[in-house]
Amino acid sequence: MSEWTADEMMTVTAARALAGRISCFVGIGLPSTAANLAQRTCAPELVLIYESGTIDTRPRTLPLSIGDGELAIRAQTVVSVPEIFNYWLQPGRIDVGFLGAAQIDRYANINTTVLGDYRQPEVRLPGAGGAPEIAASCREVVVIVRHRARTFVDRVDFVTSVGYGDGPGHRERLGLRGRGPIMVITDLGVLQPDPETCELILMSVHPGVDLDRIAAETGWPLRTHDSLGTTPPPTDEELTALRSLTTA
Amino acid sequence: MAELLTLAEGVAALVHDGDVVALEGFTHLIPVAAGQEIIRQRRRDLTLVRMTPDIVYDQMIGAGCARALVFSWGGNPGVGSLHRLRDAVENGWPVPLRIEEHSHAGLANRYVAGASGLPFAVLRGYSGTDLLHHTGTVATISCPFTGEQLTAVAAINPDVAVIHAQRADRRGNVQLWGITGVQREAVLAARRSLVTVEEVVDTLDPLPGAVVLPWWTVTAVAVVPGGARPSYALGYYDRDNDAYRAWDAVSRDRSSFGAWLSQLLGSTAGFPDGAGSSEVAGE
C-alpha cells in the first residue's frame, strides 16, 4: 500500500494536525474528511462539532452536508444554531477551527464569497457560512486546501474570514481573540505563518513534490523555512482508515 | 389559533407578493413542498430569507419568485454551487436578485433579536471581513460598560416564516426534534407562520430535547407527509443525497431547469421573463 494520491497525502497530514486536541469545529468537505480520519487514527477522543449544532458526534459514514441525520443521531447533544455560535463558538471554548477556502492569500485570509468584484462577480461562491466566526474565535485555525495558482493569491478578492489581515498586529487591533491560522495544509506541502511577519512560508514538502511546482502554484514569492522538511508519507494504517471512510 | 389548512390554502392565505418570507431549515426539515407550492401559486417580488438557501431556494429563484435574498451560505451542501442563484446574481436571470449576506452567526442573531422583540443583537463577529462593507444590517458598536468594540446586527421580523416539523396535534401545537436549526427563532420573529408537518396526532407525547411551538404561536398547520424531501425528517425518512447530487445537472442550464419547472407546474403560463421556457435569454 505504498502508493497514495496527492489528496490522500493532504488529508492524512491534516488529520495528524488534530492529534492532542480536545475539540474541533469542522467545516464541510475536505476538513470534514480529515477530522473524521483523525477520530479514527491519531485523535480517537476528538470532539467534533458541526455548525448544525451537533456536539461530539461520531458519524459512521462521512456526512455529505453539515446537517446529515447521521451527525444528529451520533452526537452527544444537538443544540440550536444560535446556541452553537453564541454559547459554544463565540466564547473561545473550541480548540481548533478547521476550514477550507476558495482563495487564500499570503496572510492566510480566506475568501469563500466571490471571485472578482463583489457587485459584478465573475464567480459567485456560496459565501461565509460559519467561517468568519470560526476563524475569529477558535483558539487556533487549520486550513486545508488544494494548492493551485488560482487559489493561492497575493490578496484575496474578498475577505470572508480573517487570517492575519494586513500582517502583524492586525488581529489584535480587530479584537479577534483566537490566535488565527497556524497551519495551511495542501496537496503539495505544509505552510505556516512566520512568527515575525505573519506571512505564510513553506515548512514541508510532500514526498515527490517539486519545489518549483509549489512556487508556480503560489501567487506570491513564497519563502521556505530554513529547516524545510519532507512530510512523512502516509502509513498503511492511515491509508486503510482513510479508504474505509465512505460518503453517505 | 393555529388553523389546520391544506398546503395550498396555507400558502394562499399567508404568503403574499412582496412579502419577506423565511423558509427555514438547517439541512434537516427543509420545507421543500411549501416552497414548491409558492412557485405554483406564482408569488412574485418576495424577499427570501434563509441561513442556508439550498435547492428549494434555487428553484424559487430560478422560477422568478424572489427579488431579494438574505442569506449566509448559499450552496448545494457537499455538491457545489446553486446554479439558479448564481445565474440570478451573475446575470440577473430570470430577474435581478438583490442580495444581503451575512455570516451564520450574524443571521442567526438577527432572528434571535427578532424573536426577542429587540431592535438588534450583539455578537463578536464580522470584524475585519469585507461583509461589513456590503451589508447594511451590520454595524460596529461600543459596549456601554467596557467600551469594547462589538458588532450589532439588526433584528429581522419576516412577514411570514415557513417551517417543516415532524408532527403537530389537533390544536396546532408543533413538535420538532433532531437538528432544529433556527426554526424556533424564525417562527417567533415572524408576523405569521405556516408549519407543514409529517403527521397530526391526537396528543403530542413530550420528547426530551424537542422544540415545541405552542398553538398560540403558530398561524397555520398543514399536513404534508414527505414535505421535507429530498431533505430529511428524523424518525420519518433519510436525506436523499442522490437527489441533491442530481439537482446539480438539472439546475446547471436554463433549459434543463425550464423542463424541470414545466413538470412541476404542468404549464409555465404566467411566468414572465423566460423562466420556465426552454428558450435561453441572452446571457
Q: Residue range A125-142: average pLDDT? A: 97
pLDDT at B280 over 80: no
**Backbone φ and ψ of A20, nearest 5°:** 85, 0
CA distance B63 to B257: 9
| Nearest residue, CB atoms, B89 vs list A121, A133, A136 | A121
Domain A6-241 adopts which CATH fold?
Answer: Glutaconate Coenzyme A-transferase (3.40.1080)
Residue B225 cell numbers, joined: 407527509
Amino acid present at A13? T
Where in chain B do CATH 3.40.1080.10 domains reside? Answer: 3-102+157-265
Diameter over CA atoms, chain A: 49
Is the distance from CB of A160 to CB of B129 less than 8 angstroms? yes
Residues of A numbered 228-247 whose beta carbons fall under 8 angstroms of chain B's beta carbons: which are they?
247
Whether A220 has its CB under 8 Å from any CB of chain B: the answer is no
pLDDT at B276 over 60: no
CA distance A213 to A225: 17
Whether B149 sits inside 8 A of A175 (CB atoms) is: yes
Q: Pick from B224, B192, B220: which is nearest to B36 by CA?
A: B224
| Nearest residue, CB atoms, B27 vs list A52, A89, A137 | A52
CA distance B183 to B162: 9
| Nearest residue, CB atoms, B72 vs list A64, A77, A129 | A129
| Cis peptide, bond prior to residue A207, ω within 30 of zero | no
Q: Which residues are within 8 A (CB) of A86 and not within 5 positions of it... i.e. 6 or more apart?
A: B105, B108, B109, B112, B123
Is the distance from CB of B96 to CB of A81 less than 8 angstroms? no
ipTM here: 0.96
Strands B20-23 and B160-169 come out as: parallel
Q: Taking the CB of residue A21, how many other CB atoms lie within 10 A of it?
A: 21
pLDDT at A10 over 70: yes
pLDDT at B283 over 50: no
Amino acid present at B184? R
What are the beta bridge partners of residue A242? none
Which chain B positions have a beta carbon within 8 Å of A128's beta carbon?
72-73, 101-104, 129, 131
Place of cell 438583490: B98
The residue among A55 and B273 whose pLDDT is bigger is A55
Give how far the C-alpha of residue A104 lies from the chain's centroid of Cα atoms, to the nearest Å: 11
Instruction: Determine the distance in angstroms separating the CA of B194 from the nearest CA of chain A, rounded to an integer.
Output: 20
CA distance B173 to B25: 18
Instruction: Determine the distance in angstroms separating the CA of A71 from the nearest CA of chain B, rounded to an integer.
Output: 9
Mean pLDDT across chain A: 96
Strands A103-104 and A110-111 come out as: antiparallel
Give domain B3-102+157-265's CATH superfamily: Glutaconate Coenzyme A-transferase (3.40.1080.10)
CA distance B61 to B49: 12
Beta-strand (E) ranges in chain A?
23-26, 47-50, 54-57, 75-78, 96-99, 103-104, 110-111, 114-116, 121-124, 140-144, 181-185, 189-193, 200-205, 224-230
Whether A127 has its CB under 8 Å from any CB of chain B: the answer is yes
The domains of chain A are located at 6-241
Whether B89 sits inside 8 A of A124 (CB atoms) is: yes
Amino acid present at A73? I
pLDDT value at position B128? 97
Whether B90 has its CB under 8 Å from any CB of chain A: the answer is yes
pLDDT value at position B208? 83
pLDDT tens-digit series, residues B55-74: 999 999 999 999 999 999 99
SS3 A208: coil
